[in-house]
Amino acid sequence: MSDRSPSVPGAAARPSAIVFAYHNVGVRLLKVLIDGGVDVKLVVTHADNPHETIWFGSVAQVAAEHGLPCITPDSAEAPELLAQAQQAAPDFLFSFYYRYMLGQPLLDLPRRGAFNLHGSLLPRYRGRAPVNWAVVHGQREIGASLHVMNIKPDHGALIDQQAVPILSNDTAREVFDKVTLAAELVLARSLPGLLDGSAPHHPQQHIAGQYFGRRTPEDGRIPAHASAWQIHNLVRGVAPPDYPGAFFDAGGQRVQIDRTFWAGPPGPAGAVPPPASGAGRFQLGLQGQTLVITGADGQRLPVLAARLQGMPLDAARLQQLFGPQPVLVAD
Q: Express each pLDDT in 136-191 by its tens digit.
A: 999 999 999 999 999 999 999 999 999 999 999 999 999 999 999 999 999 999 99
Residue 119 and residue 25 in contact, taking contact as beta carbons nearer than 8 Å: yes
Residue by residue, DSSP assigns 46-79 as -PPPTTS---S--HHHHHHHTT--EE--S-TT-H
Q: Are strands 253-260 and 300-308 parallel, antiparallel or unpaired?
A: antiparallel
**Where do the CATH 3.10.25.10 domains begin and end in the chain?**
220-329
The domain defined by 220-329 folds into Methionyl-tRNA Fmet Formyltransferase; Chain A, domain 2 (3.10.25)
**Where do the CATH 3.40.50.170 domains begin and end in the chain?**
16-211
Q: 253-276: per-residue pLDDT in tens?
A: 999 999 999 998 999 999 998 887
Residue partners of 74: CB distance under 8 A and separation at least 6? none
Q: 2-15: per-residue pLDDT in tens?
A: 444 444 454 568 99
What is the mean pLDDT of the segment spanning 114-133?
Answer: 97
> What mean pLDDT is reported for the chain?
93
Residue 327 and residue 300 in contact, taking contact as beta carbons nearer than 8 Å: no
* Residues 164/167/170/172 CA torsion (nearest 10 deg): 40
pLDDT recorded at residue 276? 73
- Taking the complete model, does pTM exceed 0.75, yes or no? yes
CA distance 226 to 263: 18
In the chain, the percentage of residues whose pLDDT exceeds 70 is 96
Which of 50-54, 58-62, 131-135, 178-182 is predicted least confidently?
50-54
The domain defined by 16-211 folds into Rossmann fold (3.40.50)
pLDDT recorded at residue 277? 65
